[in-house]
Amino acid sequence: MVLFHRQGYNNTGINQVIDEAKVSKASFYQHFRSKDELCIEFLNKRYDYWASELEQFTSEAKTVQEKTLKSFDFLIDMNEREDFRGCSFLNILSEIPADKEEIHKVIRYHKSKLRACFNEDIQNDIAAAHIYLLFESSILTSQLYRSNELIEKSKIIVQEILKSSH
């Protein structure tokens, strides 16, 4: 499943997956009916991993502001660990056509869960939406520029948003 993360959806073929997993074609198809089903499993596992890492990274924060800022630091940490690979969900979203509704639904579900976390912590709909948008765009722009500069600038903006939302 790491292949989807490394290569993307379109560049990952079922035969390559089967070869790397060292399973027979029959065994593969007993578990997954299609590449789309495998992709959905990858997205679910990736979300669980990512959310767990984020939670651990921010777990010692004592205030909402500190937790929110640490979540942006987490993006910097992930960029360093994964060489600016970006968001697996948004990378796959950019590759697949609109008719792959099941994959789109899974991506929306996980992005909604992330957004709900910001809403729960911040308790101000507009401020939470603004910070969520900064968070998502920080992932994209850091991947695009292979730089954490805009994440650092987003943290300054987040501090201002949180100050004015109380």
CATH code, domain carrying 55: 1.10.357.10
Query: How confident is the model at residue 1, as a pLDDT?
Result: 58
Query: How confident is the model at residue 12, as a pLDDT?
Result: 82
Does residue 14 lie within any of the structural domains?
A: no
Query: How confident is the model at residue 52, as a pLDDT?
Result: 97
Query: How confident is the model at residue 24, as a pLDDT?
Result: 78
Does residue 21 lie within any of the structural domains?
A: no
Query: How confident is the model at residue 79, as a pLDDT?
Result: 97
* Rounded-to-integer distance, Cα 102 and Cα 81, Å: 30
Does residue 27 lie within any of the structural domains?
A: no
Does residue 17 lie within any of the structural domains?
A: no
Query: How confident is the model at residue 22, as a pLDDT?
Result: 82
Indicate the number of domains in the chain: 1
Cα separation values, 134 from 5, 32, 125, 126, 162, Å: 23, 36, 14, 12, 13
Report mean pLDDT in 10-residue bins for the chain, 166 residues. 76 81 78 89 95 97 97 98 94 93 97 97 96 98 97 98 88
Q: In which domain, by residue range, is 42 found?
A: 33-164
Length of the chain: 166
Does residue 13 lie within any of the structural domains?
A: no
Does residue 128 lie within any of the structural domains?
A: yes
Does residue 129 lie within any of the structural domains?
A: yes
* Rounded-to-integer distance, Cα 7 and Cα 85, Å: 10
**11 membership: H or E segment, kind and range:** none
Does residue 5 lie within any of the structural domains?
A: no
